Structure 1
């Protein structure tokens, strides 16, 4: 089964099948066996690629996040500084990524908590965001001195999750998202932050 694909190709096919099933049938109904069958693989084959469903979800979220990060970075104006990059990235998360079908499944409950909690605790995703943060957080940047890139990555992930879960009122409106970020998020991480303004 699997048509002689390489391990990497098998992972992609299995993640494609899982994404399709999560979106169309829901997280709970999409067991490892159902995902394997949808992808044309055996139950044993899927467990060769992913130890469990949490690991599969983490890989899917990393893949989706990487895809969105590339798209976001390509839309940031040339010469934008790290603060502009952060603000515009979070505005895009709040106003556009909320409609991503896979990321919308984070509101679905799992037996061990929420998918959002799996995402927040995923070391691979943290490493991905951390490596991006490290490229923009260097000496002389406007970020608070002493902020560790790993902590900043976790803060950014938690903020993005709160937007994706729509826990901030009206944040899908880009103007509201930008005001919220500049009034509440930036003061937590910048040496000098913008003046607060009315958000809602």
Structure 2
């Protein structure tokens, strides 16, 4: 090794496994959102990820498990984006604009909405998948509740935080399903209803994303 060269730090087995898993999820996300759940095969994911079948199956036992990992990643990103934005916004009007933009963004992502819906329908005939989805849904609602608790303590919601988190999640899911059947359905329905639930004066005006 030449003088001044930085020695290579070898990754642990766990780190390599985590990296492989993330690369598989990234490849699968592109396929699921483009082709849908039923239009995507694990063989296609293996090819897109550039790994062997063993590398994929060692991380995910089934296509449903992999699709759930993709949905979980998307939902985590959505909650983190809103939570991060809210932490830097103390003015109620500014928060209202952020919630409006957030609602527009996630409820306009029809590919992700479709994937969630396809998984939910698949779970109707798969009790194990249904239980996993319920567990992950509880985690999402808990994340939303944690985000709400992180808002300025002077905020006074009309409902208890866990109930409010459940209501907002159900509202978003309902509007999302509506938009799958009717892409022209106005997302402002979510914004206005969320305003009623949270007690925040939400404007129907969507701010510039820039």
Same-fold call, TM > 0.5? Answer: yes
Aligned match of 1:198: none
Aligned match of 1:54: 64
Aligned match of 1:170: 185
Q: Which has the higher contact order (CA 8 A, sep 6+)?
A: 2
Question: Gapped runs of 5+ residues in structure 2?
Answer: 1-12, 202-210
Aligned match of 1:161: 173
Kindly state the Cα deviation for residue 39 of structure 1 after the two structures are TM-superposed.
0.9
Cα distance in 2 between the residues matched to 1:66 and 1:86: 21
Query: For 1:96-151, what per-residue CA distance to the aligned partner results, in whole angstroms no more than 9, with x for missing partners?
Result: 2123233343344754349xx96993423532441441353499863467x473x5
Aligned match of 1:182: 195
Determine which of 142, 153, 162 is the counterpart of 2:156: 142
Kindly state the Cα deviation for residue 166 of structure 1 after the two structures are TM-superposed.
2.6
In the superposition, the TM-score normalised over structure 1's length comes to 0.65
For 1:50-129, list aligned pairs within 5 A.
Answer: 50-76=60-86, 78-80=89-91, 88-89=98-99, 91-100=100-109, 101-108=111-118, 110-113=121-124, 121-129=133-141
Determine helix, strand or coil for the equivalent of 2:61: coil
Q: Which has the higher helix share?
A: 2
How many corresponding residue pairs?
Answer: 177
Query: For 1:21-45, what per-residue CA distance to the aligned partner results, in whole angstroms no more than 9, with x for missing partners?
Result: 1122221121223212221222232
Cα distance in 1 between the residues matched to 2:25 and 2:59: 10
Query: 1:106 and 1:132, CA in 2 relative to 1: closer, same or farther beyond 3 A?
Result: closer
Q: In angstroms, what is the RMSD of aligned CA positions?
A: 3.9
Determine helix, strand or coil for the equivalent of 1:28: coil
Instruction: Name which one, 1 or 2, has greater alpha-carbon Rg.
Output: 2
Determine helix, strand or coil for the equivalent of 2:167: helix
Determine helix, strand or coil for the equivalent of 1:41: coil
Question: Gapped runs of 5+ residues in structure 1?
Answer: 196-200
User: Contact 2:141–2:165 (CA<8 Å) still a contact in 1?
Assistant: yes
